[in-house]
């Protein structure tokens, strides 16, 4: 939508979104001992094969934090 200069949504509701690679998010590291469900090990198994293995860990189309 941004590339086509279309109006962007005003907001959205997400639950545990992957907005950036886990290794690069300071807030994750600061609180990683508090989250029993989404541990670093679990997240690396979920997101690494899908995103970072392609070599595009900073791609704004994959991670909105960089968009």
The pLDDT of residue 35 is: 76
Query: What phi and psi, each to the nearest 5 degrees, are found at residue 15?
Result: -125, 115
What is the pLDDT at residue 52? 56
pLDDT digits (tens, 9 = 90+) for 21-34: 666 677 777 877 88
Positions of the chain with pLDDT under 50: none
Rama region for 12: left / alpha / beta (φ>0; ψ in -120 to 50; rest):
beta
Interatomic CA distance for residues 1 and 59, integer angstroms: 16
The separation between CA 57 and the C-alpha centre of its own chain, rounded to angstroms, equals 9
Residues in the chain: 67
Q: What is the pTM of this model?
A: 0.45
pLDDT number for residue 22: 66
């Amino acid at each position: 939508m941004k590339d086509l200069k279309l109006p962007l949504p005003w907001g959205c509701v997400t639950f545990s979104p992957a907005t950036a690679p886990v290794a690069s998010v300071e807030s994750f590291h600061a609180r990683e001992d508090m989250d029993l469900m989404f541990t670093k090990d679990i997240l690396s198994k979920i997101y690494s094969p899908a995103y970072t293995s392609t070599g595009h860990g900073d791609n704004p189309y994959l991670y909105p934090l960089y968009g």
